[in-house]
Amino acid sequence: MEIADKIISIIRENTECKLEIDRDTNFINELKIDSFGRLMIIYAIEDEYSIEIDENDIENFKTVNQIVAALELKYI
């Protein structure tokens, strides 16, 4: 499974979102996921990949693409 597909799956598992999610979907503006929801997604990603994501990176995550880019560059 591609990283983006896994991230989308994690978002679906950790939210009640029924909307279409793709690589460019904005968590805040389009999915209306609050800060707690975003943290739950980050914790699930950290568990999935056995990593710890830097808080500065977390603040910049607004789309699936941004998470994928950070994971590929810094974490996996």
Residue range(s) defining the domain that contains residue 10 = 3-75
Report pLDDT digits (tens) over 4-46.
Answer: 999 999 999 998 888 899 999 998 899 988 888 899 999 999 9
pTM of the prediction? 0.89
CATH number, domain with residue 37: 1.10.1200.10
Report pLDDT digits (tens) over 39-74.
Answer: 999 999 999 999 999 988 888 899 999 999 999 988
Torsion, Cα 54 35 76 11, to 10 degrees, reads: 170
Domain count of the fold of the chain: 1
